[in-house]
């Protein structure tokens, strides 16, 4: 099994028999920064993307980032988000103020 988090332009290839096994293999690592799906079946890609434990899933692309789209990992791949409104949450503090007017 592929269990190391590699930072670089590296592609790992691992065979699988069906969709459930592919998802189980992808989710078996303690890391979850990003995942990629290459397919011509868009409905399957969205179904699998929803099951992957990754902060971002690219379909038929890789490393495409947009400042409006949150980016960050799950599990042991970090915490919080960069970009998007979710990134601003780390810099804000919510306060409620209740006033009675009678």
Token pair for 61? 């692309």
Q: What per-residue confidence (pLDDT) applies to 3?
A: 75
Cα separation, 58 vs 34, whole angstroms: 8
Over the chain, what is the mean pLDDT?
A: 89
Q: What per-residue confidence (pLDDT) applies to 89?
A: 82
Cα separation, 77 vs 52, whole angstroms: 14
Instruction: Tell me the pTM.
Output: 0.78
Domain range annotation of the chain: 31-77
58-102 pLDDT per residue, tens: 999 988 999 899 899 999 987 788 888 888 887 888 889 999 998
Cα 64 to Cα 12, 18, 38, 57, 85, distances in angstroms: 19, 27, 14, 10, 18
């Amino acid at each position: 099994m592929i269990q190391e988090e590699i930072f670089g332009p590296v592609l790992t290839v691992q065979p699988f028999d069906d969709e459930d096994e592919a998802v189980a293999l992808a989710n078996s690592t303690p890391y979850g920064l990003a995942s990629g799906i290459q397919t011509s079946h868009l409905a399957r890609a969205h179904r699998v993307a929803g099951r992957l434990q990754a902060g971002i899933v690219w379909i038929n692309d890789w490393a495409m980032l947009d400042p409006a789209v949150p980016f960050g990992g799950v599990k042991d791949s970090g915490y919080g988000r960069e970009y998007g409104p979710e990134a601003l949450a780390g810099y804000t503090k919510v306060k409620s103020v209740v006033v009675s007017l009678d």
